[in-house]
Homo-oligomer: A and B are copies of this chain.
Amino acid sequence: MTKTDADTPLHLQPYGPGPRAAEKIFETARDLFYREGIRAVGVDEIVSKAGVTKPSLYRSFKSKDDLVAAVLREVEEGFWDRFRSAEDAFPGDPRAQMIAYFEGLAARSVGDDYRGCALSNAAVEYPDRQHVGRMVSQAHKEQLRERLRAKAVEMGASDPKVLGDVLLLLIEGVFTSSQMFDGDDKPAMASVGAVKALIAAYCP
């Protein structure tokens, strides 16, 4: 069962084949952090579930926080991939782009394993502005805010800053609320209609 090195996106393969343990650690940590929370998961649990040992973790990551930062940065990439995917589906139509994003978001939010946005959750777990997990999350949210405001400009909103912030409120609302209700009947389903109504209200 020797896996090759180029079939999955790896984050650090310095020379030649690159480490296989680092990849398993990274993916295991990403899943555990999302499912159980970052603070709730210890390094021992990570290496145990990854089938590796602790020194392997600290050979690839300087500290647990360093691993946390790496995971959150990949989460951020995944977010922008989905966001751009909605954009690419409707070129030149920012309104349809946002509706498409909310439709995808609402679809993803149903399902018992959904736990909202890992970046928002990390910001909740790390209130300290100096913590790297907090910094990555906060920087991402500021980028998102600007991007949504730019979208509102494209839509010709009368007050694009406000409409952008409203969209952000709605997105974060879906993130947080979706992990607090079981089953398929989640408030997130109402977000698609809400974004349509809001865009209509803010774009004359």
Contact = CB atoms under 8 A, between A and B. Distances in A.
A97 interface: no
Identical copies of this chain, number: 2
Contacts of A202: 197
Interface stretch (A2-10, A46-54, A78-86, A113-121): A113-121
A162 B189 CA distance: 8
A172 interface: yes
A174 B169 contact: yes
A201 B169 CA distance: 18
Given A173-B170, A175-B176, A127 B198 contact: no
A143 to B, nearest CB: 12
A69 B165 CA distance: 33
Interface residues of A, number: 51
Interface of A: 35-37, 39-40, 115-116, 120-121, 123-129, 137-138, 141-142, 145, 162-163, 165-166, 168-177, 179-182, 187-191, 193-194, 197-198, 200-202
Contact of A124 (B121, B168, B174, B193): B121
Given A37-B124, A37-B126, A124-B125, 9 more contacts: A35-B127, A40-B125, A121-B124, A123-B179, A138-B180, A141-B177, A162-B190, A166-B187, A201-B201
A172 to B, nearest CB: 4
Contact of A168 (B123, B127, B177): B177
A169 B191 contact: yes
